[in-house]
Each structure stands twice: as structure tokens, then as C-alpha cells.
Amino acid sequence: MFGRGLKTLSCVTVVLIVGAFALVFFYAPNDADQGFIQKIFYLHVPLAIVALCGFVAGGIYGILYLRSGDRMHDLRSYVAIHLSLILAVATLISGSIWARASWGHWWVWDEPTLVSFLIVFLLYACYQPLRFSIEDPQTQARYAAVFSIVAGAFVPLNFMAVRMAQSVAHPRVLTSTTAMPGSMFLTFMLSIVAMACLYVTLWKYELASKHASMQLRQLRRKLAGEDDGWTPRARRSAAPQL
Amino acid sequence: MPALPLGESGKYVAAAYCVFLALILIYVAIMATKLARIERDLGELNELAERRAAAASDEEEDEPEPVAR
């Protein structure tokens, strides 16, 4: 079900990632202002963009779950948020490394872009504990969907608020005033596409794995003579259940 | 702040890309563990199904044959 097209997608992702990194180091010129350290930008910005889009996608699947009651949408939302959290960790670490090299500090507390991203990260870090704290699978799925919708709506609002703020330190990438040279822009765009492909591939892998585990559990329940899909398991889990 | 020389900035760039690679590898390792667990569970279920099938065939053999009147 979720494994369809995974082989092709994986191959495309590998080609795109290798291609993007090759362009970063062998094609895109060094930035006149920052020099070689600007190469982190081709990793850090796509990671941040894809992570934020993943959080929004989690919210969209949350809406679909509430509308249809289909537990597969709950699973999709859960995996999207789970993966976005991993990318958000990579964003924070790569951003800190860049800040250390460029500003001389690992973290700057008066920079709205950094702090707002940290707030979004910490908000979503509550998602798994929230799910884990609810034992009944149906209630867990419903509460998690509401959380994902509210938090998903917060992400673009937060992004716009930060854009409107008068930032002093954090560079702006996609603006109408700063024109990137063609080679840099191409590399940056390919990096975003590659990162998005990586996200979708890992999302499908995780979905296929989770779905297989769920089906196994269902089969075990059927063999044991309990056929009610909403019966809570003996061991509590944050992951959705079939 | 002026641009760092290549030698100094190179280690930061390498560190950032290594962190990304490490996270992906950790993720793949976790997925591999999950796959191993699924394989083990499948094996257990297969054994259970085989035992049930064997028990069912034993019961059939133990049943007394109907007596012709």
C-alpha cells in the first residue's frame, strides 16, 4: 500500500541529493561576503523549509482525519510531524554551526528567526508526549489531529510575523531585494527539491514500516480471537493504531 | 564579520554536512531495527499458524470414525 513506487522514489532521491551536493561544492561560487561558510546555507535553508512544510502537511492530514475518521490519515499526520521534528533538529544544529562560524556565537537569543523556529520545534516536541499520555486510541487520534491543525496553522503565521519583524542579523534568502546569481539560485532550488524528495521517501518508508507493524498486530489479535480494532493494547504507545 | 579563511570555515561546513549525514544514518539504523522486529514477529505468527494447523489435523485424526448401521 505505502511501498508502491518506493524503489523509484529512492533512486530519484539519491540522484538528486548527490547532484545537489555536487553542485554545492563544484558549481556554485563562493559567496563574496561570507566565503566558503555560506555552503551551509544550501543544507540549512532547505532543511528548515521542508521541516516547516512537513508540519503544515501534518495539520492538513489532521483535518482529513477529523473529516473522514480514516485512521490512515492519522498515521500520515503522525509520520509527517515525526519526520519534520528530525529535520528541525538538523536545522537547529546546522544553523548553530553556521552562527558559530559567522557570528562567533552558537545561539543568539535576540534574533526573531532563530527563537521563533525554536518555539515551533518545542511546540511540536510536545506532540509525542501528548499522544503518549492518552490511552484510548480514538481519543488519542482526535486530540492529536486537533493539536496538529492548531500548531500547523501557527507555523505560517509565525513565519509571516518573523518576516515582518525588523531583523538585524539573520540573512534573508527568498526576498525581492536580494538577487542571487543564477548558479547559486539553481543550486539552491535543486537542494530544496532534493530535500523534499528525501522527506517524501523517508515518509513513505516510515508509513510502510508502521503499516506493516499494524497489520501484524491486527493479525495477532485476530489469531487471539479479538477483532476490535479500537481495543487498546497492553503496552501504551504514541504511534497510531489500527 | 569578515569571511573566514577556507581552512577554518571548511571544518564548520564539513561538520554541518556530517551532522546531516549522521542523522540520516541513525534514522536508517532505527528503521533497520524496526524491520528486524517485524521479521521476528512474522516468524512468531508463522509458527503459531503452523502449530494451530498441526493441532487441527491431530484433532481430526483423533475423532472416532462413524459406525455404519
What ipTM does this complex have?
A: 0.82
pTM of structure: 0.85
> For the domain that residue A162 is a member of, what is the CATH number?
1.20.120
A17: which 3 cell numbers? 541529493
Task: Please write the tens of the pLDDT for every residue from A139-165.
Answer: 999 999 999 999 999 898 888 877 777
> Is residue A227 in a domain?
no
* Mean per-residue pLDDT of chain B: 82
Would you say how long chain A is, in residues?
242
Confidence (pLDDT) at A232: 47
> Is residue A92 in a domain?
yes
Ramachandran bin of A69, using left for φ above 0, alpha for ψ from -120 to 50, beta for the remaining angles: left
> Is residue A232 in a domain?
no
- Max Cα-Cα span within chain B: 107
> Is residue A157 in a domain?
yes
A218–chain B Cβ distance below 8 A for any pair: no
Residues of B in contact with A219 (CB under 8 A): 45
CA distances from B33 to A34, A79, A158, B29, B47 (A): 42, 17, 37, 6, 21
Residue pairs spanning A and B at CB distance below 8 A? 79
List the domain range (segments joined by +) for residue A125. 6-167+179-214
CB-based contact B3 A98, cutoff 8 Å: no
> Is residue A97 in a domain?
yes
Task: Please write the tens of the pLDDT for every residue from A68-113.
Answer: 989 999 999 999 999 999 999 999 999 999 999 888 889 988 888 8
Number of structural domains in chain A: 1
Ramachandran bin of B61, using left for φ above 0, alpha for ψ from -120 to 50, beta for the remaining angles: alpha
CB-based contact B38 A94, cutoff 8 Å: no
